[in-house]
């Protein structure tokens, strides 16, 4: 594949695949990827990332997951943002087993979980009502010395309240106040909603009045 005797290289194909992906032309992007291999040009990590983004754009999560796992088998470290995006998409699609498989694969190829990774999984576990697993994952964060942030705390509180763990949620809030994790407006909204649902109306009113002060 040449034009005016100038051979196209991996960079040229990457540009084409990226452009096709941006306009949702998955089939054409995949054809370019296959042609690269036919002419003896090995796809680069960036090529794979662009292709995964292309699959994301048109909602083909299975294809994106398969390609990501292929990258990992080839010991080709994928972009962390791609992993975060895929973890979030898998959990939203109720495909928790695949999300955890991806989480374990990350560590196998020495991509250490970050606060973003933990927040996605903690939020997913809370929404699924898996309180023990959620708390265990929080403890794993502490063991790894990965400091929690307000998003972590909000996800923990939301998961606890949704599953009727009002006392544990209150203790978590107290611990949060003793650390550098400063509550935000979402934190207080979660607390007030949880207290009301737990028939602790007076406590909810007191908290609301403190917020006004």
Tokens at 160, concatenated: 């606890």
DSSP 74-124: TT-PPPHHHHHHHHHHHHHTT-HHHHHHHHHHHHHTT----HHHHHHHHHH
Tokens linked to 112: 């250490």
According to DSSP, the residues that pair with 7 across neighbouring strands are 2
Structure tokens at 1: 């594949």
pLDDT tens by residue, the chain, 213 residues: 444 444 567 788 888 888 887 888 888 888 888 888 888 877 777 777 788 878 877 878 778 777 777 776 665 566 677 777 778 878 877 788 888 888 887 777 677 888 988 999 999 999 889 999 999 998 898 888 888 889 998 999 999 988 888 888 878 777 777 777 778 888 888 888 888 887 888 877 887 777 665
Q: How far apart are CA 126 and CA 124, in angstroms?
A: 5
């Amino acid at each position: 594949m040449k034009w005016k005797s100038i051979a196209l290289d991996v960079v040229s194909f990457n540009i084409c695949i990226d452009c096709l992906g941006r306009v949702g032309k998955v089939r054409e992007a995949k054809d370019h990827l296959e042609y690269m291999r036919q002419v003896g040009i090995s796809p680069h990590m960036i090529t794979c990332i662009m292709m995964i983004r292309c699959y994301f754009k048109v909602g083909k999560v299975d294809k994106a997951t398969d390609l990501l796992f292929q990258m990992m088998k080839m010991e080709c470290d994928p972009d962390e943002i791609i992993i975060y995006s895929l973890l979030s998409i898998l959990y939203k699609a109720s495909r928790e087993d695949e999300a955890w498989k991806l989480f374990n694969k990350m560590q196998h190829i020495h991509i250490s979980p970050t606060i973003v990774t933990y927040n996605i999984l903690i939020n997913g576990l809370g929404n699924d009502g898996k309180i023990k697993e959620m708390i265990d994952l929080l403890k794993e964060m502490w063991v790894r010395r990965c400091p929690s942030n307000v998003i972590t705390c909000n996800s923990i509180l939301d998961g606890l309240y949704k599953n009727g763990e009002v006392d544990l949620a209150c203790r978590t809030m107290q611990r949060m106040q003793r650390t550098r994790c400063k509550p935000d407006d979402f934190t207080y909204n979660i607390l007030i909603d949880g207290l009301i649902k737990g028939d602790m109306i007076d406590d909810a009113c007191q908290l609301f009045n403190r917020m006004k002060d």
